[in-house]
Amino acid sequence: MNHFQVKTIVHFGADALTSLQRIENKRILVVTDPFMIKSGMIEKVKQQLEEKNEHITIFHNIVPDPPLENIVNGVQIMSAADPDIVIALGGGSAIDAAKAICLFKNRMNQKETVAKEVTFIAVPTTSGTGSEVTNFSVVTDSSKNVKYPLVSDEMLPTEAILDPELVKTVPPFITADTGIDVLTHALEAYVSTLSSDFTDAFSEKAIRLVFAYLEKSFRNGEDHLAREKMHNASCIAGLAFNATSLGISHSMAHIIGAKFHISHGRSNGIVLPYVIEYNANIKGYTDRNFSMAASKYADIAKLLNLPSSDTRNGVKNLILAVKKLRKELGMPASLKEAGVKKEEFYRELDNLVEVAMQDKCTITNPRTPSVKEIKSLFEQAYVGK
Ligand SMILES: NC(=O)c1ccc[n+]([C@@H]2O[C@H](COP(=O)([O-])OP(=O)(O)OC[C@H]3O[C@@H](n4cnc5c(N)ncnc54)[C@H](O)[C@@H]3O)[C@@H](O)[C@H]2O)c1
Ligand SMILES: [Fe+2]
C-alpha cells in the first residue's frame, strides 16, 4: 500500500498575497531576510496585516544557507513573541529557517504542559526550493561546513502563498539558479525509488513548465506569465519530492554548497547531467535491458518533444537539453568553471564523497552508488565535459 497526501493549502496567482487579509487579532511573527526589508517587500506583507493585527514581530536576520546560529536566535525571538502565526517571507533560506525555528520551538513546548498550535504560512519570493509545501528544511553547520537536511511532517506549512508579483525582482542569475533547482527536484522525484503515478503527474508538469518558461523568466523578469508559471512549477515540484524525496544530485549539491559556497541551484545544475547519465546506466550499444530510470528519462524526452527514437536516444537528448538550458542561462558547466581551485577540490574530495554517501537524499536515488562511483561523479563535475 502507498499513500499520497497534500497538507498545505496553496493560494496562487495574481493578488494571492491578499489572502493574508483574513487574519484578525493574531500575534504574528514574520521570519525573513535583510533584502526583504531593504527592498521594501516586507511592506507588502505588513499592509495586508496591520489594520487587523496589533502584535507583529519581524525577525529579518536570515542569511542564505541558514546557519544554526540563525535558528537558535530565531527560537529566542519566537519565545518572546509567542506568535499564533509564523509567516516565512523569502527564498528557501528564510522558509527553511522559519521551519527549523518552529520545529525546535515545538520540541521545547512539548516539554511544557500546554503546547501551542502555531499556523505556518510560507510566502516564497524565489521560484526554486518548493519549501512552501515540503517537510524538508536544510540548515548549515558553518563550523563544519556541512548542510543538514531536516525532515519532519511537523514542518509542513499550513498554507503557501504563491504571488508572482513577489518574484519579479529576482535577478537573472538567481532566477537561473533557482529554476534549475526546480528542474532537479522534478527529475529526481520522477526517478526516485518512491515515485508513483501521483508524484509522476506533478513531476511531469513541473518539467514541462520549466522548459517552457524558465528561459523567458531569465530573459525578462517582468514577464508576468513566465514568472507565474515558474512559481507554480516550483511548488508543483515540491509537492512531488515531498512524497518521493530526492536523489544524489541533491546529496552532492548539499556538500558542494556547504564546502565551496556555490548556490544550491547552481550546484545542482553542475552535477545533474552526470547524475542522469549515471542513473540511466546505459552500457554498450547492444544492451536492450534498460533500467527503470533510463526508461523514465526517455519518457521525459518524449514529453518535451526531443528526438527520442529509442530509450538510449531519449536519455542522450534529455542530457543535451539540460546542458543547453544551463548554457542559455549562463550557468557554469563544472566546479572548475564555478571557481573551485584544483588543489582545494582534491583536498576535499574524500570528504565530499563521504558526506554525499550519508546524505538522506542518497537513499531514494534509483541507483545505489558505491564510494568509487560517487567519487567519479564528483570528478566529472569538477572538470565538466
Ligand atoms: N526545504 C526544501 O525543500 C529545500 C529544497 C531545496 C533547497 N533548499 C535550501 O534552500 C536554500 C536556497 O534557497 P533559494 O534558492 O530560494 O535562495 P535563498 O533563499 O538563499 O535566496 C538567495 C538570494 O536571493 C535573494 N532573494 C530572495 N527573494 C528575492 C526577490 N524576490 N528579489 C530579489 N532577491 C531575492 C535573497 O535575499 C538571497 O540573497 C538553500 O539553503 C537550500 O539548501 C531547501
Ligand atoms: Fe533543491
C-alpha 64 to ligand 1 mean position (Å): 6
Do residue 251 and residue 301 come from a single domain? yes
Which of 45, 96, 231, 255 has most ligand 1 atoms within 8 Å of its beta carbon, as the pocket-test mutant? 96
Do residue 234 and residue 377 come from a single domain? yes
Do residue 162 and residue 187 come from a single domain? no
H-run or E-run covering 372? helix 371-383
Name the domain count of the chain. 2
Nearest CA residue ID for atom 9, ligand 1: 92
Q: Is 114 or 195 the better-scoring residue by pLDDT? A: 195
Of 122, 128, 47, 110, nearest in space to 86 by CA = 122
Do residue 338 and residue 324 come from a single domain? yes
Give domain status of residue 1, yes or no.
Answer: no
Give domain status of residue 29, yes or no.
Answer: yes
Atom of ligand 1 nearest to the CA of 92: 13
Give domain status of residue 2, yes or no.
Answer: no
Which of 42, 120, 138, 242 has most ligand 1 atoms within 8 Å of its beta carbon, as the pocket-test mutant? 138
DSSP structural state of residue 117: P
Instruction: Look at residue 148 in the predicted model and tell me its pLDDT.
Output: 86
Give domain status of residue 269, yes or no.
Answer: yes
Do residue 273 and residue 315 come from a single domain? yes
Round the average pLDDT of the chain to a whole number and report it.
95
Instruction: Look at residue 114 in the predicted model and tell me its pLDDT.
Output: 60
Beta carbons within 8 Å of 178's beta carbon, 6+ residues apart: 91, 92, 126, 127, 128, 129, 170, 234, 265
- Helices 371-383 and 264-280 pack at an angle, to 10 degrees, of 120
Of 202, 168, 172, 171, nearest in space to 185 by CA = 202
Atom of ligand 1 nearest to the CA of 65: 41
- Write out pLDDT tens, residues 325-365: 999 999 999 999 999 999 999 999 999 999 999 999 999 99
- Name the closest ligand to CA 241: 1
Nearest CA residue ID for atom 30, ligand 1: 170
Ligand 1 — pocket residues by CB below 6 A?
A: 33, 35, 64-65, 90-94, 96, 125-126, 128-131, 134, 136-138, 147, 166-167, 169-170, 174, 178, 181, 264-265
Atom of ligand 1 nearest to the CA of 178: 15
Do residue 196 and residue 223 come from a single domain? yes
Of 369, 371, 374, 378, nearest in space to 345 by CA = 378
Atom of ligand 1 nearest to the CA of 238: 3
Do residue 159 and residue 14 come from a single domain? yes
Instruction: Look at residue 146 in the predicted model and tell me its pLDDT.
Output: 83
Do residue 276 and residue 135 come from a single domain? no
Which of 65, 70, 129 has most ligand 1 atoms within 8 Å of its beta carbon, as the pocket-test mutant? 129
C-alpha 95 to ligand 2 mean position (Å): 13
Confidence of residue 113 (pLDDT cuts 50, 70, 90): low
The share of the chain scoring above pLDDT 70, in percent, equals: 97
Of the three residues 166, 190, 221, the one that is the final residue of a domain is 166
- Per-residue pLDDT, averaged over 238-256, amounts to 97
Give domain status of residue 111, yes or no.
Answer: yes
Nearest CA residue ID for atom 28, ligand 1: 125
Do residue 231 and residue 368 come from a single domain? yes
- Write out pLDDT tens, residues 24-81: 999 999 999 999 999 999 999 999 999 999 999 999 999 998 999 999 999 999 999 9
Domain that holds residue 246: 172-383
Beta carbons within 8 Å of 301's beta carbon, 6+ residues apart: 307, 308, 313, 314, 315, 317, 318, 321
- Look at the chain and count its residues: 385
Give domain status of residue 4, yes or no.
Answer: no
Do residue 43 and residue 138 come from a single domain? yes
Of the three residues 134, 166, 198, the one that is the final residue of a domain is 166
Give domain status of residue 3, yes or no.
Answer: no
Do residue 190 and residue 162 come from a single domain? no
CATH number for the domain harbouring residue 161: 3.40.50.1970
Cα separation, 49 vs 326, in Å, equals: 40
pTM: predicted TM-score of the whole model, two decimal places? 0.95
Among positive and negative, which fits the CA dihedral 259, 260, 262, 265? Answer: negative
- Name the closest ligand to CA 140: 1
H-run or E-run covering 249? helix 248-260
Give domain status of residue 271, yes or no.
Answer: yes
Instruction: Look at residue 106 in the predicted model and tell me its pLDDT.
Output: 87
C-alpha cell recorded at residue 202: 506533478
C-alpha 244 to ligand 2 mean position (Å): 13
CATH number for the domain harbouring residue 343: 1.20.1090.10
Of the three residues 140, 166, 192, the one that is the final residue of a domain is 166
- Write out pLDDT tens, residues 305-336: 999 999 999 999 999 999 999 999 999 999 99
Instruction: Look at residue 242 in the predicted model and tell me its pLDDT.
Output: 96
Do residue 57 and residue 96 come from a single domain? yes
